[in-house]
């Protein structure tokens, strides 16, 4: 299957700092990438949908100025958590859809963010 | 998007078939049934999807009822590594094909 690489796998940062998470499609072009957040024992919650070369579409309740998404190329999207606080600690997951292969989405390994 | 309903948890003996049910009684004609699984602290893994016909791949089989109101994911010979949370999702063919995740079924494969 197609490979999506997410980096870093885990990060610990101080409150008030910003953290950038990268999501790369390694062997396909991804016109659309999705960013999710997952709290312990809960399901994945979609945060935003990003299309290459255009602004991301955020889900209701997700602050676009806090969670900056950039999708500058067909193989890379980044999520920056700005001015992180402990309540932003979560598991962040990206997924990408292969525009040449139809409907299934492929997921990165996830990034465990801990804000202290 | 149609809501799906799955049992919270299931157990299965190693080497036996694991049959995971999913109800999607409000599914519409252009919605696919997708199955993903998530092993603890990892990203979800695509398993299989279908629209009307039964599907099989190297990982699993998907049986969709004729009225499309329910489906069953079958892992023919479950192993310990199949222990995971399994998600059944109805996906609209349009709408950027957003995935709306429920709580899934936590499958425990026991030795």
Q: Which of A31, A59, A63 is nearest to A47 (CA)?
A: A59
Question: Mean pLDDT across the stretch A6-22?
Answer: 97
Task: Tell me if A110 and B42 make a contact (CB, 8 A cut-off).
Answer: yes
Using an 8 Å Cβ cutoff, are B44 and A107 in contact?
yes
Using an 8 Å Cβ cutoff, are A23 and A30 in contact?
no
Name, of A16-25, A98-107, B88-97, the range with top average pLDDT.
A16-25
Q: Which residue of A has its CA nearest to B102?
A: A43
Task: Tell me the chain B residues in contact with residue A108 when contact means C-beta distances shorter than 8 Å.
Answer: 43
Q: Which residue of A has its CA nearest to B44?
A: A107
Chain A / chain B CB contacts < 8 angstroms: 56
Q: Which residue of B has its CA nearest to A59?
A: B98
Give the model confidence (pLDDT) of A82-113 as tens digits.
999 999 999 999 999 877 666 668 899 999 99
Q: What pLDDT score was predicted for residue B6?
A: 97
DSSP state of A101: T
Residue A49: strand pairing partners: A34, A57
| CA end-to-end distance (rounded Å), chain B | 38
Q: What pLDDT score was predicted for residue A113?
A: 97
**Is the CB of B10 inside 8 Å of chain A's CB atoms?**
no
Option in A1, A43, A107 nearest B43 (CB): A107
Q: What pLDDT score was predicted for residue A1?
A: 63
Residue that wins the pLDDT comparison between A54 and B8:
B8
pLDDT band at residue B91 using 50, 70 and 90 as cut-offs: confident
**Is the CB of A49 inside 8 Å of chain B's CB atoms?**
yes
**Is the CB of A20 inside 8 Å of chain B's CB atoms?**
no
Optimal mutation site among A21, A57, A58, A107, interface B, most CBs of chain B within 10 A: A107
Residue that wins the pLDDT comparison between A74 and A17:
A17
Task: Give CA–CA dist B87/B22, Å, rounded.
Answer: 9
Task: Tell me the chain B residues in contact with residue A45 when contact means C-beta distances shorter than 8 Å.
Answer: 101
H or E stretch at A8: none
pLDDT of residue B54 exceeding 80, the answer is yes
Q: What pLDDT score was predicted for residue B94?
A: 66
A65 backbone dihedrals φ, ψ, rounded to 5° = -80, -15
Residue that wins the pLDDT comparison between B104 and B97:
B104
Task: Give CA–CA dist A62/A7, Å, rounded.
Answer: 22
């Amino acid at each position: 299957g197609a490979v999506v690489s997410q980096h870093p796998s885990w990060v610990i940062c101080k409150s008030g700092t910003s953290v950038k998470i990268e999501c790369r499609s390694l062997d396909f072009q991804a016109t659309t990438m999705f960013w999710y957040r997952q709290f312990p024992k809960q399901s994945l919650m979609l945060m935003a949908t990003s299309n290459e070369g255009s602004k991301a579409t955020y889900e209701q309740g997700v602050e676009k100025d806090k969670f900056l998404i950039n999708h500058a190329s067909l193989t890379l999207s980044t999520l920056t958590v700005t001015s992180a606080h402990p309540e932003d600690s979560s598991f962040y997951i990206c997924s990408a859809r292969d525009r040449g292969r139809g409907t299934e989405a492929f997921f990165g390994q996830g990034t465990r963010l801990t804000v202290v | 998007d149609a809501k799906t309903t799955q049992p919270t948890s299931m157990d299965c003996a190693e080497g036996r078939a694991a049959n995971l049910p999913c109800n999607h009684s409000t599914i519409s004609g252009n919605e696919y049934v997708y199955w993903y699984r998530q092993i603890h602290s990892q990203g979800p893994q695509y398993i299989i999807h279908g629209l009307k016909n039964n599907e099989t791949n190297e990982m699993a089989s998907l049986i969709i009822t004729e009225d499309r109101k329910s489906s069953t994911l079958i892992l023919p010979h479950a192993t310990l590594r199949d222990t995971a949370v399994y998600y059944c999702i109805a996906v609209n063919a349009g709408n950027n094909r957003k995935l709306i995740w429920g709580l899934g079924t936590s499958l425990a494969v026991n030795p």
